[in-house]
Amino acid sequence: MANQNLISLEQDDRIEAAAARLSMSRREFLQFCAALATTLGLPQGADAAVAEAVATKRRPSVIWLHFQECTGCTESILRAEHPTLEKLILDVISLDYHETLFAAAGHQVEAARKTAMAENKGKYILVVEGAIPTRDNGIYCKIGGKTAIELLKECAADAAAVIAIGSCASWGGMPSTDPNPTGAKGVDKVLGKPVVTIPGCPPNPYNFLSTVVHFLTFGALPAVDHLGRPKFAYSRLIHENCERRAHFDAGRFAMEFGDDGHRKGHCLYKLGCKGPETYANCSVIMFGDAGAGTWPVACGHPCIGCTEQGVGFQKPIHSMAKLKNIEPSAFLPRIVEEKGVGATLGSAAVLAAVAGAAAGAGAMMAKNLGLSHRAEEMEKAKKEGSKATESTEV
C-alpha cells in the first residue's frame, strides 16, 4: 500500500489523469474510491490503495461468457452511473470478449476471445452470466460450435479468477427450476471447484465492480461466505437494514396490496417479503442510480429472495418467509397502528412465544433480530453442544 493518505493524493497528477478519463473531478474520483473501499469493508488507508490501483495499474482483462440467461445481468451493468459502462470497460477493466456488447460477430469474435486468453494467460478474469445446461451432454446451449460446458472449461483453465454473475450462473437460477429439462447448473458445479458468486436477478452492478476493483487493488478476490458470495455484499439479511424494519418491529403490516397499511409504507412481510431470509445489500445501496426508493420493497413489492438459493424461484412469491430469527404469527390480530402505538414488551413477547423462536419478551426479541451468519452459527453450535451434553448425562 504505497500511500496511506487519500487526501494527499488529491494533488497527484496520476489521480488527476484518472479522474479526467472517468469524467470526474479529482475530489469525485477520490470519493468514488473511498466509497468502494467502505463498501468492501477495507481498513483505514485502503481507500488510497484503491485510488492508486485504479489510476495506475494495468486494467485486468475480462472474458465475459453468456449461457442460459436473459442478459439481465449485462443490462444492469449498462445502467450503472458511477462510472458509466463505457468508462468501466475503457478505464477500469479491459472487456476483451462479450457477445452482447461486441460490434463484431462470428469468427471475428471467437478470434478475439482466443487472442485475449493467450495474451493474458493466467491473468484474465472470467465472468460467467447464465446457467450451464448439462443434460444430454450439454447440447441445449452452443456457441461457436462448442457446448456451454466445453466453452466454460476451456476459458476457466487459464483464468486468474472466475466470477459467476447473477443467480443463474451462481446456482442455476430460473433455468434450474423444476422440472429443469436442460439440467441447468451453476458454474461451480460444472467446474467442480469454488468460484466467486454474485447472485441476484439481476445483481447490483456495484457488487461486481467492487469485486473487480478488489482484485485490481490487492491481486486477490474479496473474502466470501460458504456459498462463494462476497461477504461485503451478502453477509447481512436484507431485513436487518430494510427501511420498513421499524414497522415490522411495531407490528404494522400491509395485509393486501393497496390497503391502508400498504399505502402508508408498512412492512410487507405478510405479503410474502423474503427479506427476513435473504442475504444481500439491496436495502443499503439501492439499485440503478435512480435515487431513493429504487429497490422492490421501497417500490411497494415484496422481496422475492432472488439472491438466495432455495428461496428465489423456488418459493411462491407471495408465501410468507421463514424468518432467520423470530417469526410472528400470521393469525394474530395486528397491533393497533391507527392510534400510533408501537409494539409493547408484552405484545412482542406474545409474538415470540407463539412463534416458538424465543421464550422471553422484548429483550430476547431484540437480541435475536438481525443475526449475522457468524451469530447464527454460534447459536447453532451452542444448541448442538447442549444436546450432546444431555445425551451424555442420560
Domain boundaries in the chain? 58-233, 238-384
Which one is predicted more confidently, 72 or 363?
72
Which one is predicted more confidently, 142 or 100?
142
Mean pLDDT for the chain? Answer: 80
User: Which range has the worst mean pLDDT, 84-93, 346-355, 378-387?
Assistant: 346-355
- Give, to the nearest 10 degrees, the angle between helix 205-218 and helix 46-56: 90
Continuous segment of H or E residues that includes residue 147: strand 146-147
Q: Where are the alpha helices (DSSP H) in the chain?
A: 13-21, 26-39, 46-56, 72-78, 85-87, 107-119, 148-156, 167-171, 187-191, 205-218, 231-234, 245-250, 260-263, 282-285, 345-355, 362-368, 373-393
For residues 359 and 379, what is the distance between their CA atoms, to the nearest angstrom? 15
pLDDT at position 10? 63
pLDDT at position 254? 96
- Give, to the nearest 10 degrees, the angle between helix 13-21 and helix 26-39: 90
* Bridge partners of residue 184, in order along the sequence: 133
238-384: CATH, from 3.30.390.30, 4.10.480.10, 3.40.309.10, 3.90.320.10:
4.10.480.10
Q: What does each C-alpha distance from 376 to 171, 236, 379 come to in angstroms?
A: 23, 11, 5
Tell me the CATH architecture of domain 58-233: 3-Layer(aba) Sandwich (3.40)
pLDDT at position 334? 54
pLDDT at position 88? 64
Query: Within 13 Å and on the Cβ side, how many CA atoms surround 331?
Result: 2
Biggest alpha carbon–alpha carbon distance for the chain: 73
How confident is the model over 185-200, as pLDDT tens digits?
Answer: 999 999 998 899 999 9
| pLDDT at 336 > cutoff 80 | no
For residues 200 and 204, what is the distance between their CA atoms, to the nearest angstrom? 7
| pLDDT at 110 > cutoff 80 | yes
In this structure, what C-alpha cell is assigned to residue 240?
436487518
Q: What does each C-alpha distance from 62 to 90, 115, 166, 345 come to in angstroms?
A: 11, 12, 16, 54
For residues 349 and 343, what is the distance between their CA atoms, to the nearest angstrom? 10
| Banded pLDDT at 76 (limits 50, 70, 90) | confident
| Banded pLDDT at 27 (limits 50, 70, 90) | confident
pLDDT at position 385? 67
Continuous segment of H or E residues that includes residue 164: strand 161-165
| pLDDT at 273 > cutoff 50 | yes
| Banded pLDDT at 3 (limits 50, 70, 90) | very low
Parallel/antiparallel/unpaired status of strands 161-165 and 125-129:
parallel
DSSP at 24: -
Going by C-alpha positions, the residue among 260, 224, 231 that lies closest to residue 336 is 260
How confident is the model over 116-136, as pLDDT tens digits?
Answer: 999 999 999 999 999 999 999
pTM score, whole prediction: 0.72
pLDDT at position 291? 61
Which one is predicted more confidently, 320 or 349?
320
| pLDDT at 355 > cutoff 70 | no
Please compute the mean of the pLDDT values over residues 84-91 and round it to a whole number.
62
| Banded pLDDT at 91 (limits 50, 70, 90) | low
CB 182 within 8 A of CB 140: yes
Continuous segment of H or E residues that includes residue 197: strand 196-198
User: Which residue in the block uniquely carries the three cell numbers 477495507?
Assistant: 42
- The percent of residues above 70 in pLDDT, for the chain, comes to 74
Q: What does each C-alpha distance from 225 to 14, 262, 370 come to in angstroms?
A: 35, 35, 17
Which one is predicted more confidently, 240 or 57?
240
CB 351 within 8 A of CB 328: yes
pLDDT at position 287? 73
For residues 366 and 347, what is the distance between their CA atoms, to the nearest angstrom? 13
| pLDDT at 343 > cutoff 70 | no
